[in-house]
Structure 1
Amino acid sequence: MATARFPGKTADVAAANWSVPAPLCVNGTRWILYLLEECVDNVWEYCSVVIGLISMLCFLLSTLPQVYEAYRNGKVEEAMSFGFLFFLFSGDLTSFAGCYLTSQLPIQVVTVVFYIFTDLILISQFLYYKIKNSSSRKSPVLKWLCLMWCGAATLVLLALPKLIMDNSTTLNTQSPTHSKSVQITGYICGYLASVFYLSSRFPQLYKNFQRQSTEGTSYMLFALAMMGNGTYGLSVIVVLPALRDSKKTFIIKHLAWLIGSLGVLILDFLVTAQFILYRKNKSVKSSKLLSVPEVEPLLCEEEELTVL
């Protein structure tokens, strides 16, 4: 989600094609310069980049446990809210649009594409088990919905590589004015993505409350998302002492992604509380069932004696 930690090839780089070339990075860390095209020459920025990469890794791995959990129990439609999946997919799709429009680094674009890919798997699993476990399995509406979704998902997966290739080839031909307007549109997409990410947790919170259970949902999905959002916020805070430019401008530039990350982090604490609460309720219910005395065999024996 939080892919705006690294500024990438934004309008400033596009404008450099029309002006004096930027100075070379002499004292920067080589692997960061090669991987992220970012000049890091002090410990604060170095720590920020490493923490930012950890954040990316957490987000990359977050949905995989839920994919396995859905495959294992086969009841994902009962545990997961479709609203949660829809808003999560919308947030990742809007985040991809923001990265594409602002010409972010290839590693960021590939990361967001992976998010979209895992979202497509989760939604496909939801629809598959919804049809499989539905009492009205022969409903043509559900079948057509599944077919339409598979077709749309295929088109998205085919279109994304083409968009990435076109974006990389047209990067150096943009004028500064056009790049600035596109960058603003990209930041608007960033705010929209934050709204989608924040909205995604509420349907799942309500679903868990309605069921009074979190069974069928992998907690690692939310735990890794919390780690990703927390480390992203930390990566932004750590770099502040090393900034040469205005700290206020830096915060404003990353505000959309900060709101999304820290806001979702707070909501994920509520989801964590639900996991703890409903697990305790489940253990209490199971202990009560174990403590019930076996009365039925005694009653059966008394009935046999009366017959004799």
Structure 2
Amino acid sequence: MATARFPGKSADVAAANWSAVAPGRPLCVNGTPWILYLLEECVDNIWEYCSVVIGLISMFCFLLSTLPQVYEAYRNGKVEEAMSLGFLLFLFSGDLTSFAGCYLTSQLPIQVVTVVFYIFTDLILISQFLYYKIKNSSSRKTPLLKWLCFMWCGAASLVLMVLPKLIIDNSRSLDTQSPATSKSVEVTGYICGYLASVFYLCSRFPQLYKNFQRQSTEGTSYLLFALAMMGNGTYGLSVIVVLPALRGSKQTFIIKHLAWLIGSLGVLILDFLVTAQFIIYKKNVPATKSSALLSVPEVEPLLCEEEELSVL
């Protein structure tokens, strides 16, 4: 699940769209008002407008992607059998490094809040995995485990509300650093972006192996992967759409977004393999259930006939 980053534009195009009417108070001359207010980005043509709208769709898909799996795990209570712990840990590591990249490269507040939400949902999934693993492996009920889970979720929710404000306030101090320090921090941020892409790509392999080993996808919500596919696909499209509007070097623009493009499009390809597993292994479930149902009527009449003969 790659972080939905808005592609933006090159420095020369951005400078052309901003006009300083007073020191420290730039004015966006031809920009779209709602995008300027929400994203602090000056968008003045159809290509950039489409890129931002597609980027918002991508972000919305990522925000919803993990919620179906949270519900599915709560419904069946066998998440440790269906989900791979490696998948969850790689996903969590990817979101952590992506958060570091967003913070070090001074991304927009909405992006920082979004990636914090990703980390929060990752923690919920990992907590569910550990909770049901301990619960299902224990022969007796443990009320303490349930209360610890509730306390953990409450603490995580509290951190989710407070952390973005602290991060945004601290990120403003990065803008006052010297150019050399700022450049090194930015390079570190892009390195974190590449690490995040590696973690996202690695996350799919444990789950693919888990599904293959079980020959089943039962207990796993396909919406998790379907929404991730929509999010990754729309993110890649948002980067490509803005290219005709660039007046600067398109190559430099692509290089700046290459880490997130690799993560998004690479995970998209692997999610097609997960989709194939859902299609293939779904055919095995009805056959198993139908064979189980057919075996019952064959036994019951025989038992009834034996009882009648014994009475006679």
What letter corresponds to residue 244 of structure 2 in structure 1? P
Task: Flag the 1:285–1:138 CA change in 2: closer, same or farther, 3 A.
Answer: closer
Which shows bigger deviation, 127-136 or 197-206? 127-136
Q: What one-letter code is carried by the residue in structure 2 that aligns with 1:48?
A: S
1:59 aligns with 2:53: no
Structure 1 unmatched runs, 5+: 14-19
Question: Counterpart of 2:223 in structure 1: which amino acid?
Answer: M
Mapped contact 2:117–2:160 kept (Cα < 8 A): no
Gaps of 5+ in 2: 15-22
Corresponding residue for residue 213 of structure 2: 210
The answer to whether 1:116 aligns with 2:128 is no
Q: Which of residues 260, 264, 282 in structure 2 aligns to 1:261?
A: 264
Asked whether the equivalents of residues 135 and 141 of structure 2 are also in contact (C-alpha less than 8 Å), the reply is no
Which of 77, 85, 90 is 2:88 aligned to? 85
TM-score (norm 2): 0.84
* Aligned mates of 1:172, 1:191 — CA distance in 2: 23
- Of stretches 73-82 and 165-174 in structure 1, the one that deviates more from structure 2 is 165-174
Match of residue 20 from structure 2: none
- Please state if 1:239 is matched with 2:242: yes
2:45 is matched by which residue type in structure 1?
N
Structure 1 stretches of 4+ moved >6 Å: 20-23, 136-139, 152-156
TM-aligned CA deviation for residue 173 of structure 1: 1.5
Q: What corresponds to 2:47 in structure 1?
A: 44
**Paired residues of 2:50 and 2:238 also in contact (CA < 8 A):** yes
Which of these residues, 276, 279, 282, is aligned with residue 279 of structure 1?
A: 282
Q: Aligned ranges for residues 281-296 of structure 1 at < 5 Å? A: 281-292=284-295, 294-295=298-299
Aligned length: 295
Conserved 8 A contact 2:232-2:268: yes
State how far apart, in whole Å, the 2-side matches of 1:262 and 1:99 are.
19
Instruction: Say yes or no: does 1:98 pair with 2:101.
Output: yes
TM-superposed CA distance for 1:222, in Å, is 0.4
CA deviation after TM superposition for structure 1 residue 153, in Å: 6.3
- Tell me the C-alpha RMSD between the 2 structures: 3.1
CA distance in 2, matches of 1:222, 1:25: 39
**Residues 64, 303 of structure 1: alpha-carbon distance in 2 compared, 3 angstrom cutoff:** closer
Question: What CA distance in whole angstroms lies between the structure 1 residues aligned with 2:168 and 2:245?
Answer: 34
Cα deviation 1:28-84 (Å, max 9, x = unaligned): 111111211211111011001000000000000000111111111111111111000
- In the TM superposition, residue 175 of structure 1 has moved relative to its aligned partner by 1.6
- Tell me whether 292-301 or 180-189 shows the greater mean CA deviation: 292-301
The Cα of 1:21 is off from its aligned counterpart by 7.1
Residue 301 (structure 1) aligned with residue 305 (structure 2)? yes
Deviations 1:107-157 (A, max 9, x none): 000000000011111111111111111147799xx99xx9xx98x969975
CA distance in 2, matches of 1:306, 1:133: 44
Q: What is the aligned partner in structure 2 of residue 4 from structure 1?
A: 5
Post-superposition offset of 1:300: 5.6
- Which residue identity lines up with residue 38 of structure 1 in the other structure? E
Change (3 A) 1:299 1:116: closer
Change (3 A) 1:220 1:234: same
Letter in 2 for 1:297: P
| SS at structure 2 position matched to 1:83 | helix
1:298: Cα distance to partner? 2.9
- 2:191 matched to 1:191? no
Q: Distance in 2 between matches of 1:56 and 1:154?
A: 20
User: 2:128 pairs with 125, 130, 133, which one?
Assistant: 125
* Structure 1 letter corresponding to 2:188: T
Structure 1 residues 251 and 84, CA, compared in 2 at 3 Å: closer, same or farther?
same
Of residues 17, 33, 37, the one that matches 1:34 is 37
Distance 2:187 2:247 in 1: 23
Does the 8 A contact of 2:5 with 2:55 survive in 1?
no
SS of the residue aligned with 1:230? helix
Question: Match of 2:184?
Answer: 181
- Whether the 8 Å contact between 1:7 and 1:104 is mirrored in structure 2 is no
Do 2:91 and 2:200's aligned partners in 1 also have CA atoms closer than 8 Å? Answer: yes
Q: TM-score, normalization: structure 1?
A: 0.85
In the aligned structure 2, how far is the partner of 1:281 from the partner of 1:88? 29
